[in-house]
Structure 1
Amino acid sequence: MPNKKLTDVEKLAIVQEIEGGHIGINAAVRKFGFSKSTLMKWRNRYRLYGMEGLAIRTCNRSYSAELKLQAVMDYFRGELSQYQIIDKYKISSRTQLADWIKKYNGHSSLRAYNGGKTAMTKGRSTTWQERLDIVLHCLANGQDYSQAADQFKVSYQQVYGWVKKYEAGGPEALRDGRGRKKAPEELTEADQQKLAMRKLEYEVERLRAENVFLKKLQEFQRGRR
């Protein structure tokens, strides 16, 4: 493969030849001497960022810690391909995504390049009551997993898993899995009352938040008249 570094204009000429259908990727590999992964990276950057994506960079593009974590979670859920994730979050390359996945698996911090907030990648031990509180809070706030993880100092993956368990099996599904789950009727009356009260509290919180949003929306609409 050539050692020569192309200018962004030279890269653009190659990409436009591919994008225009004048030459395929494999034929471009043979013609220009660059690897298939390199040509696909240029093409994807051009699609995402235009001419800017082909410019030679002297510093890393900035990504928030939350974006990194959401991209990694999409990868683990397996619903999107790596290229779809790259397109969704406008990530510069698969190498960049792979680095975040490696850090997550190694429980390293996913920190924004500018030194901003760090996303927790390693969970912590919790009680059943804590898990229930976190799930109800998350559901009351539009299933914002990142916000719940940040507020309760647990990992995004933990919150996501607990919510899915709760939706599938109710409160008892959040207990440590060592055998059968208790049926709802096995909860004591006091436990049932506490659970009902917490659900009510979070529902009130959700409705209050919606009310504040609607008031702001009405004020905004009046201001545009």
Structure 2
Amino acid sequence: MAKFLSVAGRATVSKFLDPVARRLVRLGLSANTVTIVGTIAVVAGSVLLVPRGELGWALLIVTVAVCTDLLDGAMARAKGGDTRFGALLDSTMDRIADGAILGSLAYWLAITGDRVTMVAALISLVAAEVVSYTKARAESLGVRCDVGIAERAERLVLLGIGGLLYVFSVPYGLSVVLWILAAASVVTIGQRLIYVKRQLNGAES
């Protein structure tokens, strides 16, 4: 269901982004430039705003930056498809952005004294990187690994929900969401390892 919603959401957004992407391509901008600019925006918003507790403004900046993440893909399609370097750059920038968001959040939770929720943020940070690494390593072994209940789109949605709950002063809302995110990310690592193991065992047999 989550996968279906993610695909359906992207299809809807593409109707609005594709014309913008084609115009930017005609102006001479590259998808790689948009990728880098979007990542810089996420890092700046996370590092400058989250440690000050301004999660509302940070959430707004991250949401806009996520749109640029979709926009660079639309621009690549408008130019005839992704390049191999473009795919590498996009994945690398995604890891930097995720690290900035969760790292800044963990720092803010630490300085405000919420050590329990900080642990959830740190688990989510490490698990997010491992989820991505597991997929990359599996693909280097020649097998697919696009499975799991908490891929990047789902993780960003959960973070957005947590941010909104904090903005609207819902008691323990952010803490609960972060622990859900941490648990879902760890489960996703297990799902990917099991999925890859079954593929490799089938190939070897």
TM-score normalized with structure 2 length: 0.26
**Larger-Rg structure:** 1
Which of the pair has the greater relative contact order for Cα pairs under 8 Å at 6+ separation?
Answer: 2
